Amino acid sequence: MGEQNQVKFPQEVLDEYKDYGIDLPALFSAGHLGTRMGIEIKEASADRVVATMPVEGNTQPYGLLHGGASAVLAETLGSVGAMLHGGIGRLAVGVDLNCTHHRSARSGHVTGVATPVHRGRTTATYDIVITDEQDRRVCSARLTCLLKDAPMTDSAPPAA
């Protein structure tokens, strides 16, 4: 997934996780699917998550960015934001994703930016805007995640 050391986390997030020996870029990443798709998270906080993804390798048979690839990018960004909102004792599980595809992309990279619509105790909803290199909107998406208690482990405290 590229150099995850370049991900920008707010200091309060770094402080929250520092005593647990958790690799934040690995925890708040696109996972194996995102790695295969070339998703690189650039910035991550509960208020804003930014990532890029190459068009090449993520196209449908006509050579256009696959709508499913945009959906993966959108769900990744919204999930990371929801996980950061939930904090160390909570997991975010996507329960609803809606994507509207506005235009195609044939080359370069797309950038996704997720911002919160609602951040509650049990759900978090994020709007995600995906744009091409000319800053034209490729896709608008909205993701709602259920926030649930994380299972107890040796490295994570119980949910507050």
> Active-site positions?
75
Q: What are phi and psi of 55, to 5 degrees?
A: -75, -45
The span from the CA of 51 to the CA of 30, in Å, is 10
